[in-house]
Amino acid sequence: MTDVAKYRSYSKFEEFLHNFYSLSQTARIYSKNHTLVLEGIEKFSESINSCMENESLTFKISNDQLYVDDKKLPYNRTTKNLFDNIIRYCDTRDLDGVRLFKSVKLASAEEILAFMRLLDISGQQPEPLAWLKDGLAAENIQWVELIKKTERPQDEESFKSKAERRERARKDYTYAKASVEEVAQKIKEGKGEVGVRKTVRVVQDMVMNLIEDDEVYSAISTLRVFDDYTYTHSVNVAMLSMCIGRRINLSRRNLVNLGMCALLHDLGKIEIPKEVLHKKEKLDDSELKLIEEHSLNSSRLMLKLKASPDSKARILVPMFEHHLKYDLSGYPHADWKKPLTLFGKIISIADKYDTLTSSRAYRRSLLSPDRALGYMFDRAGKAYDPILIKVFINIMGVYPVGTLMKLDTDELALVVSSPSRNFSKRPLVCVLEKEGEGSYKKKEIINLDERDTETGNYVRDIIETYHPANFGIQPVQHIFSSN
């Protein structure tokens, strides 16, 4: 094939993808008889006719590259926006591609439009692919085959749906919270040596689930409800720490130790009187001293727990270190010259992030999650390990799940998923609609990384970000619920 012929065949396939994506967008916005929709269907059908040489026509994503009938299409300045849009479009629908069979040439305009609309709406469903398959069956559309996303290697048994994984993470969260609460309660009651076998089991389960899918765990700190700080903080710190640990490839055993240490890092706070712990006014010197002793007290209490000397040894020091800071300028003010341990560095990052974004009643200004990350990034190399901070931002995304934002379309939106692909910088958000006084309902899920294929500009821009508590919004109601 000459270069010119090759170029022509590629541009024909690009045209097909362009017509496919444009129709998906116009079908969403306009009614079925609108000229743009009718024109879009015609162009789509024309490009199918010109591209389909045999029994079928397939476009497929593999390693972030687009293929049409096994021909890799060039990713360049001209095709970049279109390809990025298609990859994201498929990504949110759990698809790697679509195969159209010859009989599509006989499909009516109504059928093609029905397919496009089902495909589009499936992106807002908790189980997009299953929902789409049912929809196509109900419409009796048989000329299309959906190619399921194979992003993670899964065999039939280990595969768990997104909804199942969320449910499991939710259970892990509840069990972890209950178990740390139980340990604290038993210590308070002074009932002899307190065992942590149950807590270890809970953390082991968390590690197993986290290894399968860490996205849901990094997002789970949004489960926190406003009036419940003490133990949810411990669970959040544990989950976020373990996410960092997983990203830097810690072994399962080390992840369990890290999780245990993070879950119990603030145990020493049980010795601080509630009036001091929750005091809204400025603390006096003796109160401050009490607070600053809690990390040392956590280690001291840990010594008394019934656990193997080996695991105690691994978690005592990081507990003591969690407020010391990377440059050792934090507290307790000890003559401690050793650099922080890896666990200490990890937990101090997770701890600070959760503290900055938690909406404790006495905090006056609430930082939005993205600004909390910015605040911490500014202190990299001083308060936090610079490499681990980068790892953490990579996990959370530039706009972490639970960030509330105002868009240039005047819409209010909540981040429901941070980008999973490297080139994507913008999140998936759920547009919220006001429903009576102070309450909001989900409207639609949109991808902020979506660009206009003609101009290359973003379809929507972010104007401002907020902490959801400033609007009385509990992210969990919109993110972890299926309705």
Q: How far is the CB of 322 from Fe ion (least distance, A)?
A: 6
Q: How far is the CB of 232 from Fe ion (least distance, A)?
A: 11
Which residues does residue 450 pair with via DSSP β-bridges, in sequence order?
none
Instruction: Choose the binding region for Fe ion from 168-176, 260-268, 275-283, 304-312 (rule: CB under 5 A).
Output: 260-268
Q: How far is the CB of 265 from Fe ion (least distance, A)?
A: 6
Instruction: Choose the binding region for Fe ion from 15-23, 263-271, 309-317, 403-411 (rule: CB under 5 A).
Output: 263-271
Q: How far is the CB of 137 from Fe ion (least distance, A)?
A: 51
Q: How far is the CB of 237 from Fe ion (least distance, A)?
A: 6
Pick 172 or 351: Cβ nearer Fe ion: 351
Strand order in the sheet with 440-447: 440-447, 428-434, 412-417, 404-407, 462-466
d(CA 224, CA 237): 12
Q: Does 266 bind Fe ion (CB under 5 A)?
A: yes
Instruction: Choose the binding region for Fe ion from 170-178, 238-246, 343-351, 440-448 (rule: CB under 5 A).
Output: 343-351
Residues in the interface with Fe ion (CB under 5 A) total 2
Pick 131 or 320: Cβ nearer Fe ion: 320
Q: How far is the CB of 195 from Fe ion (least distance, A)?
A: 23
Which positions ≥6 away from 447 have C-beta within 8 Å? 88, 89, 92, 426, 428, 429
Instruction: Choose the binding region for Fe ion from 154-162, 345-353, 389-397, 440-448 (rule: CB under 5 A).
Output: 345-353
Q: How far is the CB of 274 from Fe ion (least distance, A)?
A: 16
**Tokens encoding 411:** 């819409």
Q: Considering only CA atoms, which of 329, 34, 301, 289 is closest in space to residue 185?
A: 301
d(CA 225, CA 359): 9
**Binding string, 182-211, against Fe ion, x = CB under 5 A?**
------------------------------
Pick 14 or 266: Cβ nearer Fe ion: 266
Q: Does 172 bind Fe ion (CB under 5 A)?
A: no
Pick 26 or 234: Cβ nearer Fe ion: 234
Instruction: Choose the binding region for Fe ion from 113-121, 139-147, 350-358, 414-422 (rule: CB under 5 A).
Output: 350-358
Pick 322 or 478: Cβ nearer Fe ion: 322
Q: How far is the CB of 160 from Fe ion (least distance, A)?
A: 31
Q: How far is the CB of 48 from Fe ion (least distance, A)?
A: 58
Q: Considering only CA atoms, which of 87, 110, 123, 134 is closest in space to residue 32?
A: 110
Q: Does 351 bind Fe ion (CB under 5 A)?
A: yes
Q: How far is the CB of 448 from Fe ion (least distance, A)?
A: 32
Q: Does 214 bind Fe ion (CB under 5 A)?
A: no
Instruction: Choose the binding region for Fe ion from 189-197, 200-208, 259-267, 307-315 (rule: CB under 5 A).
Output: 259-267
**Binding string, 96-135, against Fe ion, x = CB under 5 A?**
----------------------------------------
Region 21-50 residues binding Fe ion, contact defined as CB under 5 A: none
Pick 120 or 351: Cβ nearer Fe ion: 351
Instruction: Choose the binding region for Fe ion from 41-49, 57-65, 344-352, 440-448 (rule: CB under 5 A).
Output: 344-352
Q: How far is the CB of 348 from Fe ion (least distance, A)?
A: 9
Pick 236 or 368: Cβ nearer Fe ion: 236
Instruction: Choose the binding region for Fe ion from 24-32, 214-222, 266-274, 375-383 (rule: CB under 5 A).
Output: 266-274
Q: Does 385 bind Fe ion (CB under 5 A)?
A: no
d(CA 416, CA 478): 8
Which residue ranges make up the site for Fe ion (CB under 5 A)?
266, 351
